[in-house]
Each structure stands twice: as C-alpha cells, then as structure tokens.
Structure 1
Amino acid sequence: MKKKDKITLIIGVAVIIICAIAVIFMLDRFAVIRIFPRPVPKQEKTIQLDNLGSADMPVGNSLVVTIFCGDDKSSWDFGNENDRALRERDFAALKIAAEWLGKQADNYNKTFSLVYPTDEKSDLYYEADFKGIICNITENPDNTECWEYIDGKIDSAALKNKYNCDNILYLLFINEYDDDTENDDNLNIDPTAECIYDKEKKYNYEFCRLPSILNGEHLSPAVIAHEIIHLYGAPDLYAFDANDINYGVTVDFIEHCRKNVPQDIMLSTYDRETGKRLPDRITQEITDITAYYIGWLDTPPECIDEYLLVHSQHEYKNGQGVNSQ
C-alpha cells in the first residue's frame, strides 16, 4: 500500500472514530443511553420537626373526638329524624374506617387501633357552630375558631388519659350544603385534613372536615380513612404538589402510582371494580408508599428517591436522618 493511501486510510478511520464518539456522546447527553456517570440528584427539602401534631403516628391507641358542626351555610337539627339517621350513618362509616385501619396495621406488624364514639351519648361526641363555610377549600381557611374551640371546650389531655391513648385527632362532620352553595363557582366544597406538615403551628390539634353528604353522595368509610391517614403524614398520590405541601409529588410520580399501586387509598377512594365509593366496606389498601409516609416503614421505597420526593416527616423524629441520600 502506498504511503499516500495509508495516510488516507488512517484519516478515514480517525474520522469514523471521532464521529462514533460524537454520536455516543450525544446519545448519552440526551439520555438515550448511559455511558458517562452522572451525579445522583438530591431532594434538598427536609422536614425536621419534633412535634408532628396531635395525631402524630398511627401506633398504639389514637383517640377520635367527633364534632358535629354547623356553619353559615349548613346546620344540624337532631330533632329531625333525617339528621339523626345521617349522624348514625356517619358513626357507622367511622367504625368501618377504624376497623380497616387496624387491619392495615397488621399487614406491617404494627399494633394500632382507633378509640372512637359510636353514638351521641359518648364523651367523645360534641356539637358546635362555627362562622364561615367549614368545608370551603378555595383559599387557605382560617382555622383559629376551630382550634380555639378544641382548646377551650375539649379537655384532650384528660380524655387521652381516660382512654389510655397516645394521640388524639378530631373529626368535624358537617351536614349537607344546599345546591347553591355546592354549585357556587367561587367555592370549593370538599373533605380535607388540617395537619402538621413541615412547620409548627400555633395549635397542634389535627382535624378533618367531613361533609356528611356531598353532591348527593353520602360520606363513605374510604373517604374518612383517607382523610385520617393525612393526619398521620400521608400525601395525596393523585395531586401534583403545586403549593409545596405534598412532599414534592410530581405528575410523573402520580403516573407511577397509577401503574404500580392503583389500590392505594391515598391515590383513590373509589372502588376499582364498581367505580363508586362503597358505603359498607373499604376495598383499597395501604401500600408501602403510604406506609412509609405514616411511619410504618423506616426505609423509603426506591421510587421515593427515583422521583425526588421529600422524605417522610417521621424519619427525622425517629432518628433515621431525613433525606440523607
């Protein structure tokens, strides 16, 4: 081979190699393939609280105080047979939710039970009237009146001592709103939970707002359980975290949950077979994701770091080291 041909060949091979390297680099750059190591991204936010609220963690015994509430747009009249029947229905749904939570704890080798009233004769039963529209969540509600009522009217420490309970939570049951209120575009009537997330509040009382009837649908045991689980630290698995209050849940993580844990109660409270909220049972489960966020698992599932979610608020308190990855 002539010298000139050798040089041409060498140059040709060099060009091919350079082009191949460039192609590999571009494929790696756009994550088509992975050749070069990448620094592992980290979730920078941590939750470091010693006081996680009155509900704290679902272990041992938790006390449930029920408050049947009136507000500016709804009221209870227990001289009325229909309202008495609706109250009984709410108590029955609470019983189903409490028993279901205890069984879910068994799946994680945890001992947990809710102590709750079964009728209006219990000392865990209260009635109250508040200003505003309790279940309107269009804007961050002013909870001062509810907190001050609990602080001034309910001897929480004495009740916890009487019933030998470690923690306490409060369920506010609200009667049906009229159609004008439910259909008002300026309002958003929904069940919600008021809980400690990443900062302490003036009061540590954690409570749920529960409309007994909403859009013609009775309050289901699954909805009660879902809202109670929020009080123990669980995020919604269906809601993008737009306001930095839901552990950084992303659209991609929601899709991951839909594919991998469709049965998790924090993803949906609707029965998967019927597409309805059932009145007499709960068919959803607490999966490892939710179990981790309420403190039943110390180690996060791999997907938590994969999708850069904020770690459980229980890690710091339990000495595990929040977001130490």
Structure 2
Amino acid sequence: MIRSILTFITLTLLPINKWRAGSAYALEGNIYTLSCFVSGPSNEWTYNEKLNIINKLNESTQWITQQANKEGISTQFEGGNFGLKQDIKMDIASGTASGNEAVDLVSKVLQQVGYKNPLVFDSWVKKNTKCTNAHVIIFMKGKGNGYAMPYKDDMDKEKYFVEGAILYEKYLNNSDLASASIAHEILHLYGGWDLYKTFSQTKDREEKAKELFPNSIMLRTSYNIKELEIDEVTKWLIGWNKKPKEWYEWFRPKGE
C-alpha cells in the first residue's frame, strides 16, 4: 500500500518550488493566455489550421474552468494571439520527451512578438487587463511531443519568469493534437506532475496512478476531453485541494 511505503516521508504541504512562483501564479481568478503560431523555414500554418487549433485551446480552457467550478474555484480565461495572420518564423527542434528540450522558447518567442523580455510582457498584462496570472502557449507547425516550461525561484527571472508550453500540430506518430494535451501542459505550469512514465517519473508510479485515477488528464490523453478529470493529487498541486494526504508525496517525480 502507498501509505506503508510513505511512513518515512515528511509531507511538504506546498510544493513551493513550482507552485506560485512565476507568471502562472495560481490557477484561479483571471488568467491571460497569449497563444502564438510558429512555423519553420518551409512549413507554414494555413489560416484554417490555426482556427482549428484556437478551437482546441478554447475547449481546453473551458474544460479547466468546468473542473474548477466543481471544486468551488472561480477561473476565467482571456487572452490574445500573435501569428494568426502571419506565422512567427523560428527553427525549433521537435520535442522528443527526452528532458533535454529547449526551455527558453517563451523568451525567444516574446522577443519576436515585440517584448524586450518576459517581464515586460508580464507587466503589460497586469497594467492592461484584470489578470493576475499569465502564460504563453506556443503552437508549432510540424510533429513533436509538447512540453511545459515552468519557472522556479532559482532561475533567471528576466529570462524565464513568464511560463509557457510548446505544443505541436501533430504528435510524433502523426496523429493530430488533442485539446486534452493543451490542458495537460497548462496544468504543468500551475504545478501539476506527470503521472505516466517519463524520464523523471517511474513505471511503478504510473501503475499505481492507473489504479487510483484511471481518468486523470496527467496520466493519459483522449480526444474526448470530457471523459478525463483532474485527480486529487493534481488538485493539491495546483492549489484546489486544501486537504492533502501523506501519500501524495510518493508521486513526486525526480527533480521536482
């Protein structure tokens, strides 16, 4: 049982190395999303493809809002877009889920948009909107595994404070991006952990997650996002679950 495994663990009630650190401060209240479309030298998005992706982004944030409402948490997403009429041109390597992907893409993309650095963008959001939380979603034309770029207190604030994620039009197996993957990466920005096997997560934790939360969005994806849910461990990590249990810590990935 998980509880017997965890008898030696001292519970840390708030994983403050991720939660309430950067621009994605808390998954509640008004949240600003800047979505950006990026393409490589020879492969551009079509306008209709972009509209399809925007619909998936909207579906993902609506789902998060519905999940929050069930917990008595109020969230409201708003935001803007850059690249809808003309792509940002950048040569970005495909994500391969190796753990070695570039983590400075938010800064680079914001410079392409016209912000000197991420802190300038964060300041603009706070001055011009009612949002106290902000993040950037980069949509890349091509294939790859998406990943999040959260901020930790020991990172260069000017370069990394604004948190974001990159998602590709298609997965490496050539299937289309699901809205559930967008929601998954957003939850990472606000503290969520992967519950499936990764370079930093173990197979035994994945198997236990399958037993406890088979429909968790941090465990698996689906083209029907409505069949997924936010599990109780993730609710704790993002600040919705105020009554953590000792065994939650057992799921902490390496390096978190």
What TM-score does the superposition give when structure 1 sets the normalisation length? 0.64
Per-residue deviation, residues 2-25 of structure 1 (Å, max 9, x unmatched): xxxxxxxxxxxxxxxxxxxxxxxx
2:23 is the alignment partner of 1:68 = no
Aligned to 1:190: 145
Identify which of 50, 62, 73 aligns with 1:87: 50
2:100 is the alignment partner of 1:140 = yes
Aligned to 1:99: 62
The offset of 1:65, in angstroms, is 0.3
Tell me: CA distance 1:51–1:107, structure 2 relative to 1, closer, same or farther (3 Å). closer
Aligned AA for 2:175?
E
2:9 is the alignment partner of 1:42 = yes
Task: Flag the structure with larger Rg.
Answer: 1
Give the percent of matched residue pairs that are identical in Structure 1 and Structure 2. Answer: 22
Please give the alpha-carbon distance, in whole angstroms, between the structure 2 residues aligned to 1:55 and 1:239.
Answer: 25
Per-residue deviation, residues 138-160 of structure 1 (Å, max 9, x unmatched): 45233445414425724332234
The offset of 1:299, in angstroms, is 2.8
The offset of 1:126, in angstroms, is 7.9
The offset of 1:110, in angstroms, is 0.7
Per-residue deviation, residues 156-205 of structure 1 (Å, max 9, x unmatched): 3223432210111111111124xxxxxxxxxxx31111112574344212
5+ long unaligned stretches in structure 2: 116-120
Per-residue deviation, residues 253-304 of structure 1 (Å, max 9, x unmatched): 322210121111111112xxxxxx23xx532011211100111123323431
What TM-score does the superposition give when structure 2 sets the normalisation length? 0.79
Structure possessing the higher relative contact order (Cα contacts under 8 Å, 6 or more residues apart): 2
Aligned to 1:216: 174
SS of the residue corresponding to residue 37 of structure 2 reads strand
Please give the alpha-carbon distance, in whole angstroms, between the structure 2 residues aligned to 1:143 and 1:304.
Answer: 27
Please give the alpha-carbon distance, in whole angstroms, between the structure 1 residues aligned to 2:106 and 2:91.
Answer: 9
Structure richer in strand, relative to its length: 2
5+ long unaligned stretches in structure 1: 1-33, 78-82, 178-188, 244-248, 271-276, 314-325
Tell me: CA distance 1:143–1:287, structure 2 relative to 1, closer, same or farther (3 Å). closer
Give runs of aligned pairs for residues 125-136 of structure 1, distance below 5 A: 127-136=87-96
The offset of 1:251, in angstroms, is 3.4
Tell me: CA distance 1:265–1:84, structure 2 relative to 1, closer, same or farther (3 Å). same
Per-residue deviation, residues 228-255 of structure 1 (Å, max 9, x unmatched): 1111110001125x54xxxxx5433322
Please give the alpha-carbon distance, in whole angstroms, between the structure 1 residues aligned to 2:32 and 2:50.
Answer: 19
Tell me: CA distance 1:209–1:119, structure 2 relative to 1, closer, same or farther (3 Å). closer
Please give the alpha-carbon distance, in whole angstroms, between the structure 2 residues aligned to 1:285 and 1:169.
Answer: 22
Tell me: CA distance 1:126–1:228, structure 2 relative to 1, closer, same or farther (3 Å). farther
Aligned to 2:160: 203
Tell me: CA distance 1:208–1:145, structure 2 relative to 1, closer, same or farther (3 Å). closer
Residue correspondences, number: 241
Aligned AA for 2:242?
D
Tell me: CA distance 1:144–1:252, structure 2 relative to 1, closer, same or farther (3 Å). closer
Give runs of aligned pairs for residues 156-171 of structure 1, distance below 5 A: 156-171=122-137
